[in-house]
Chain A
Amino acid sequence: MVLLRFTLSEEGVNALRDALACLNKFSDEVSLEAKRDKLVFTALNSSKSAYAAFSFITNRFFSKYQYEGVAQNREKFFCKLYNRALLSLFRARTGDSLHDPEKGGSVIERCDVAVEDEAGKKSRFIVKIACRNGMTTKYRLPFEVSPPVHAKFDKDEAIHSWTISSRTLRQLMDHFGPGIEYLDIHSEDDSTVNFTCFTEKVASGDEVLKKPLHTSIAVEKEEFDSFDVSEDKLHIVVSVKDFRAITQHAAFLGSEVSAQYSMPSRPMQIRYDGDGVKCEFLLMTVGERGAPGQRTKKTRAGARSAPRAQQLEAATSRATSNAPTPAPRPTPATRHDDYQWEPVRMNEDEDEEEGDARLEWDASDRPNPSAVKMSSVIANQTAQRRGPGPGPDNSVEPDQALSYLEPTQRLSQARQFGLFND
């Protein structure tokens, strides 16, 4: 039985692909939640320090959208998909047209998606892609019916906010080099806001030259469309990788980005809208109140703040697992016409597709983290695909990380930690 059916135009496919590519930078899995009026894609990263949600307004975004629902739950349908598989359907063709205009005919013209789910039958996410050259391809993807985990954000608590053009923000981020871990945003005085990057990796001796470029940018407050932070010199620190994933996507849409936050170790919300899509992210901020953010490893004592410190600890453990990252990766922002001067790549023919994929995400940061998290739930699905890799959560604090937020736990249990809601 088809319980959900929708059609995407060429622009719709592009917008969805951009969204999926962005989600892919947070997690291998993407959760889909369908209602009559909106279709929401979400991802929560393995250390639960970053959450991304793209909400598509069905009557504006889709050419056609038909939601039937299931008998058990008329209101909404949800499932989880392996994002790389989903993303590759859209990427395969559109990527070509960039490099080779002659293949422009293989640009996706239309995409029909149907979700089937029925007792006794295999559940399938069916994607039918029609290309401009007349070729139609049909894909069936397996999915798992499991509720998405949404991160919770307390708007009332987040008294600080700013908004800025996504283009400006992207330009700022472009000044940062590879290899950095954290971004510290704070107002310096009445007229300037400072963006500084730093890393916790320690370098000594010959390693000194491998330290990443240390960048600090003083921006006039005027550059922001609004800047409403009542507390001076409030250092708010987030992961550069997550922040960059957001700014890159936001720049595609060219809209205005707004951020809301309260204090270090509490989540920061970043929002922006596109045509028929609302994008929302929650990033756990690092550090302690009053401290300049550098002391991320320290945990706070005291029963009340314990869960918060743990959450923070989770964010840190993920980041520190990055530490052995070798020398800075080549800047992904290679100018297009510069490409031809790059040294010869021997196996280009074979792994061109892989190479494209690699540009899109940070390979150094994925020792299959979500395989660990999800292993108990979808073991039968993923067993043949990948074993439970040495997840960062595991290696740092095995018992805490595992018992802490298994997707199978009750939501009421999760709620007490402050970040999660239904």
Chain B
Amino acid sequence: MRFKTNLKNIQLVGALSSLEKITWLRLDDEHVRFTVIPDTGSQVWALLPMEFIFDSVQLQSAEAQNTINLELPLVPLQRALKSALNATSANLRLTKKDGIPILSMTIQTSTVAQGNQGGGQGSYSRFSRGDNGPGHFAGGFGDGDDDDGVFNIEPLETHLHREREKIITQDIPVRVLHPDNVEMIMQPKVREPDVHIQLPPLLQLKAISDRFTKLAAASSRASNSATATAAASNPKLELSANMHGSLRLSLTTDTLDVTSQWDSLENPELDPSQLHCPLEEHPSTIFREAGPDKWASVRVDGKDWSKVLSVGRLEGRVIACFADEHALILYVYVPQHDDVQGDDCVVTYYVSSYSA
């Protein structure tokens, strides 16, 4: 299968790998699905259209819809995808080497030889180091009808930009999963949320969350009791939101109480055709009518939350859905830059939450 790799793919894999080192990859005729389920902490289901990652795919499997289930390590995958960035072509093949199944990536890249390649080709290294180096050349090209020696540059330029090809093979170890082993794993089902709200810029949210998490650790270290240190390793943050554009992050310990609040955030409209109940009866409508003091809250583990927020590197729009005292789900909408027509990809985070 030919696949396209772009920064988004790498960032997605990077975001996933901060939660867990191994992913379950499910391929079928239409979709690629990454699923990450750590022993503890939040789980991720990322359903991507085939075109998000692959250019042309040949799938052949005995399963329905040509399904292939693989288990593969994220860190090597990320490294391999990085190698494929800016490649002329990249191919991915499921194969076996020494009896061990691997996902073999063949990458063709051509590097542009740079001027500072070394003294061995001193003929041009002298020029590239010159005081009026590249700028001078660029200017020279601009007024190309002059006869002030500009044309000397041409062979030099071709020499500088001579392309050399490299073929990189990256073999990622994989396990091929039997469908029986994976059909039991189901995407979690959660009741209709009470509040849905677009999160503020994730980098900001993450910076403040991380600060709170550290504060919690520091404050319980100060209070210095055996039970407190146990709690310190897993500080809990409380996240609340209402249907009037506010999000609140707070931390309460024995010794301190801090809260950050964002206002004027967007509570996106729901599409009535997608709902199982009339819009008027939807929980979020009830929360909206109850006014700005009606908050839906969940508690999250500070460290786990920090890993979840790592998804911010995808630069997608993030909608948080709160089921009061029950669950928090993040939908990350990743735009497909190279395909305006294409639907956004959705990465779903089921954030693990705790009762008070």
- Tell me the A residues contacting B by CB distance below 8 Å: 163-168, 171-172, 175, 177-178, 203, 208-220, 222-223, 225-226, 254-256, 327-328, 330-331, 338, 340-344, 346-349
Contacts and interface: CB of A to CB of B under 8 A. Distances in A.
B173 A211 contact: yes
Given A171-B111, A210-B73, A213-B171, A341 B80 contact: no
B156 interface: no
B130 interface: no
Contacts of A215: 83, 168-171
Contacts of B348: none
B88 interface: no
A216 to B, nearest CB: 4
Contact of B117 (A168, A177, A208, A346): A168
Interface in B145-197: 164-175
A164 to B, nearest CB: 8
Given A209-B72, A226-B120, A342-B18, A167 B114 contact: yes
Contacts of A256: 117-120
A220 B116 CA distance: 19
Given A218-B167, A343-B303, A167 B116 contact: yes
Given A168-B111, A215-B169, A215-B171, A177 B76 contact: yes
B302 A344 contact: yes
B44 to A, nearest CB: 14
Contacts of A331: 75, 78-79
A203 B73 CA distance: 14
B71 A209 contact: yes
A338 B14 contact: yes
Interface stretch (B209-217, B255-263, B326-334): B209-217
A208 B118 contact: no
Contacts of B14: 338, 341
B166 A223 contact: yes
Interface in B74-114: 75-76, 78-80, 83, 97, 100, 102, 111, 114
B180 to A, nearest CB: 18
8 contacts: A167-B117, A209-B174, A214-B169, A215-B168, A218-B169, A222-B164, A225-B120, A256-B119
B241 interface: no
Nearest to A196: B169
Contacts of A175: 79, 83, 168, 170
B317 to A, nearest CB: 17
B206 interface: yes
B310 A342 contact: yes
Contacts, number: 134
Given A217-B167, A330-B75, A343-B18, A348 B307 contact: no
A60 B73 CA distance: 50
A212 B83 contact: no
B21 interface: yes
Contacts of B206: 340-341
B116 A348 contact: no
B249 interface: no
Contacts of B73: 209-210, 328
B165 A216 contact: no
B121 interface: yes
A254 B213 CA distance: 42
A343 B22 contact: no
Contact of B118 (A166, A214, A330): A166
Identify which of B83, B207, B213 gathers the most chain A CB atoms within 10 Å of its CB. B83
Contacts of B302: 344
B15 A341 contact: yes
A225 B118 contact: yes
Contacts of A342: 18, 310
Contacts of B136: none
Identify which of A175, A217, A330, A344 gathers the most chain B CB atoms within 10 Å of its CB. A344
B170 A343 contact: no
B210 A223 contact: no
B77 to A, nearest CB: 8
B126 interface: no
Interface in B10-37: 14-15, 18, 21-22
Contacts of A341: 14-15, 18, 203, 206, 309-310, 312-313
Given A168-B111, A223-B166, A344 B214 contact: yes
